Amino acid sequence: MKQLLVALYLLVTSSLFAQTLASINPVIGDISFVAKYGEQPTADCDERDRIKTHLAYVEAQLRTTDVSALTVEQQAKRNAILDHLQDYWQREQFPLNTAYPNERRPCFIDEKGTICAVGYLVEQTAGLAAAEAINEQYQYATIAEMTDKLPEIEQWAKENGLSLNECAMIQPTYMVVRMVKNQVGIYGGYTQAFGRIETAIPGSSIRSNGGFEVAMTDSYRFAKLKLSVQTSLGYNSRNFTVKAFDETFQVRNDRWFLSSTLAVRPIKKGPRWIPKPVLKLGAQVNFYNQNSPQTSFSSSMLVRNTVVRTGKPEVLLVGEMGFGLKALGYHGHGLSVSYAYGLTETMQGTITTNSNTGVFRYSDAGSYLGIKYTFWFTKGYRTSYGA
């Protein structure tokens, strides 16, 4: 009868494990995370916090379980072992599953000697040698998969006032994804420029208006460091209102650009009424094509040609607040508001009319306020650490 019950437990728990491979625990799944945060865990979640949340939840549940059927000695040992469990998760020293990249698996004792929760309880009550014996044969196995050791583990659990199922509830799974999260998307938006403008044309003035921008973007996010590196290849169009030679006319500067941005992510969550806000602070470098001949328009059509030359790269300090929107199938999209301050003076140009030629210099070392919409149509993996 006892063998039948063990076999039944093995079958049921193995089935659950197959169905919940991505969850923190094959028995209760991610109910601990949901209980604490009100939502299912995502790739953005901190792995250490996820493990700690699970162990704290299980400890609380086991402390409220009815143990009146246990002997006084078993109850005392159960309380002691739960105290050990509390000490363990409060230390936040969890093993790394390095043998199964991109897959959640238990790890009894990792290659650096860091021991898992169940292994720690075995060590504290039966000695390190007992834990190492289990690890030698079943380092990356669930309790249900430790077929040759199940009778011994069940006996150890019984002596300490636990059941085999409670031991399985305690055992977390761990994952180390050896890739950074990669997102490929496209964005478009409007930017209002407030640049500082200089001109060598006597009595003239230049005012920078806003412009539209569209780009393909590829973002690599390093979760542990809360850094992201984003590269964009795009096209923007910026308008100038120029007053020169007693004429007022418009100059449109169209440029292809290659942009590289390094950003930190200070916050991941905000108030419930803001959908998934993300604050990015960083530096951006734009590399533009060198020459941009433009067509200009004036009231009397005296302007024959305008050439805007782009010299050195444009360097800006950027602050951006993004708001994720409801997912579109397996894709994502969001809105963001950004502010940038330019550090370089990058453009100069010539204005030629029927009777005059003038030179102006436009400094991008000014302020930019923009809003953009981004649609992510490809998602990859996020780095996830078990310790």
User: Does 222 share its domain with 336?
Assistant: yes
Q: Please check whether residue 386 lies inside any domain of the structure.
A: no
User: Does 135 share its domain with 231?
Assistant: no
Band of residue 295 on the pLDDT scale cut at 50, 70, 90: very low
Higher pLDDT, 173 or 46: 173
User: Does 147 share its domain with 214?
Assistant: no
Higher pLDDT, 158 or 331: 158
User: Does 248 share its domain with 107?
Assistant: no
Q: Are strands 227-244 and 347-353 parallel, antiparallel or unpaired?
A: unpaired
Would you state the pLDDT for residue 297?
A: 47
User: Does 134 share its domain with 34?
Assistant: yes
Q: Which residues contact 36 (CB under 8 A, 6 or more apart)?
A: 53, 57
User: Does 33 share its domain with 70?
Assistant: yes
Higher pLDDT, 12 or 69: 69
For the stretch 263-291, pLDDT in tens is 776 555 545 555 556 777 888 777 766 55
Among 170, 191, 206, the domain boundary falls at 170
User: Does 154 share its domain with 224?
Assistant: no
Residue 369 has pLDDT above 80, yes or no: yes
Higher pLDDT, 163 or 176: 163
Residue given tokens 């599953």 in the structure block: 97
Look at residues 10, 102, 113, 118 and name the one whose alpha carbon lies nearest to residue 54: 118
User: Does 84 share its domain with 186?
Assistant: no
For the stretch 215-224, pLDDT in tens is 887 776 655 5
Band of residue 12 on the pLDDT scale cut at 50, 70, 90: very low
Q: Is 85 helix (H, G, I), strand (E, B) or coil?
A: helix
Once rounded to an integer, what is the mean pLDDT over residues 99-118? 88
User: Does 64 share its domain with 93?
Assistant: yes
Q: Please check whether residue 121 lies inside any domain of the structure.
A: yes
Distance CA 372, CA 287 (A): 20
Domain total of the chain: 2
Among 106, 140, 170, the domain boundary falls at 170
Q: Please check whether residue 191 lies inside any domain of the structure.
A: yes
Q: Poorest-confidence range of 167-171, 181-185, 296-300, 314-318?
A: 296-300
Q: Is 83 helix (H, G, I), strand (E, B) or coil?
A: helix
Band of residue 15 on the pLDDT scale cut at 50, 70, 90: very low
**Residue 13: both structure tokens together:** 């728990």
Band of residue 79 on the pLDDT scale cut at 50, 70, 90: very high
Residue 346 has pLDDT above 70, yes or no: no
Once rounded to an integer, what is the mean pLDDT over residues 94-115? 87
**Residue 305: both structure tokens together:** 């040609």
Would you state the pLDDT for residue 51?
A: 93
Higher pLDDT, 316 or 17: 316
Q: Please check whether residue 387 lies inside any domain of the structure.
A: no
Q: Please check whether residue 19 lies inside any domain of the structure.
A: yes
Q: Please check whether residue 175 lies inside any domain of the structure.
A: no
- Contact assessment for residue 91 and residue 103, using Cβ atoms and an 8 Å cutoff: no
Question: Which domain CATH number covers 291?
Answer: 2.40.160
Highest mean pLDDT among 30-39, 170-179, 364-373: 30-39
Would you state the pLDDT for residue 179?
A: 44
User: Does 58 share its domain with 153?
Assistant: yes
Look at residues 305, 298, 306 and name the one whose alpha carbon lies nearest to residue 248: 298
Q: Containing domain of residue 121, as a range?
A: 2-170
pTM of the entire predicted model: 0.49
User: Does 164 share its domain with 199?
Assistant: no
State the DSSP string of 267-322. -S---TTSSSEEEEEEEEEEEE-SEEEE-EEESS--EEEEEEEE-SPEEEEEEEEE
User: Does 282 share its domain with 205?
Assistant: yes
Residue 197 has pLDDT above 70, yes or no: no
CB contact burial 204-231 (16+ within 10 A = b; e otherwise): bebebebbebebebebbbebeeeebebe
Would you state the pLDDT for residue 124?
A: 95
Residue 158 has pLDDT above 90, yes or no: yes
Would you state the pLDDT for residue 172?
A: 94
Residue 7 has pLDDT above 50, yes or no: no
Among 137, 170, 203, the domain boundary falls at 170
Residue 139 has pLDDT above 80, yes or no: yes
Band of residue 384 on the pLDDT scale cut at 50, 70, 90: very low
- Contact assessment for residue 255 and residue 310, using Cβ atoms and an 8 Å cutoff: yes
Q: Please check whether residue 256 lies inside any domain of the structure.
A: yes
Q: Which residues contact 110 (CB under 8 A, 6 or more apart)?
A: 95, 96, 97, 98
Q: Please check whether residue 176 lies inside any domain of the structure.
A: no
